[in-house]
Amino acid sequence: MSTFSEANQVRLLLKMKLSQYSWYSSSTVLNIDDGFGVVIGVKQMDNTIRKLVPPVIDGVSVKTEVE
């Protein structure tokens, strides 16, 4: 279970890391199950993107979705 503050810190970390890529679109914090998680919006999905975006960072769930 992660707090909003923890999820937002992960979102900001990923935003700074991924904003240099052309496929990055957005990032949001959402209420997931019993805590908060981060959703990364991308323009396309391939194996390179899956390797760059880990599924969990510091106990915060990270999902990648095509927009």
Contact, 36 vs 28, CB < 8 A? no
- To the question of pTM greater than 0.85 for the whole model, the response is yes
pLDDT at 63: 95
pLDDT at 33: 81
pLDDT digits 0-9 by tens, 17-60 = 999 999 999 999 999 888 999 999 999 999 999 999 999 999 99
Q: Domain coordinates of the chain in residue numbers?
A: 4-66
User: What residues contact 26, with CB distance under 8 A and at least 6 apart?
Assistant: 40, 41, 67
* CATH for the 4-66 domain, from 3.30.530, 1.10.1760, 3.30.300, 1.10.3470: 3.30.300
